[in-house]
Amino acid sequence: MPGETFSKGSTWMSGFGSKPTRGAFVRGMIVLPALATLVTEVAKADDTKVAQSAVQYQTKPNGDKQCSKCAFFIPGATPDANGTCKVVDGVISPNGYCTAFNAK
């Protein structure tokens, strides 16, 4: 600032609190792991699908039961294309089947 004087030892950045204190460092050491845990928990909350192995997913039908006839199936671009599933993780064949089958 024009006409502003600085005392000995001060710098133009001293008003911004640029020098970290031990307290700020300790608070950071406590807050950062807690924040990382929170982010991980939020990510998990979005990952609600089960693994294919957990529901014995197979790429062939079980009699007349198959993914394309299941209420959880999300079709691909064409009727024969692989799709996804609302409850099972990964790529799902329209001709597949698992123990979570739920007829439309």
Nearer to ligand SF4, 36 or 71 (CB): 71
56: left (phi over 0), alpha (psi -120 to 50) or beta: left
The nearest distance, CB 77 to ligand SF4, in angstroms, is 17
Stretch that binds ligand SF4, among 18-26, 30-38, 41-49, 88-96 (CB under 6 A): 88-96
Report residue 37: phi and psi, to 5°: -65, -40
Span 24-83, contacts to ligand SF4 by CB under 6 A? 55, 57, 67, 70, 72-73
Instruction: State which residue, 34 or 101, has the beta carbon closest to ligand SF4.
Output: 101
Cα torsion angle, 98, 54, 87, 82, sign: negative
In the complex, least distance from residue 45 CB atom to ligand SF4, rounded to whole angstroms: 20
User: To which H or E segment does residue 85 belong?
Assistant: strand 84-85
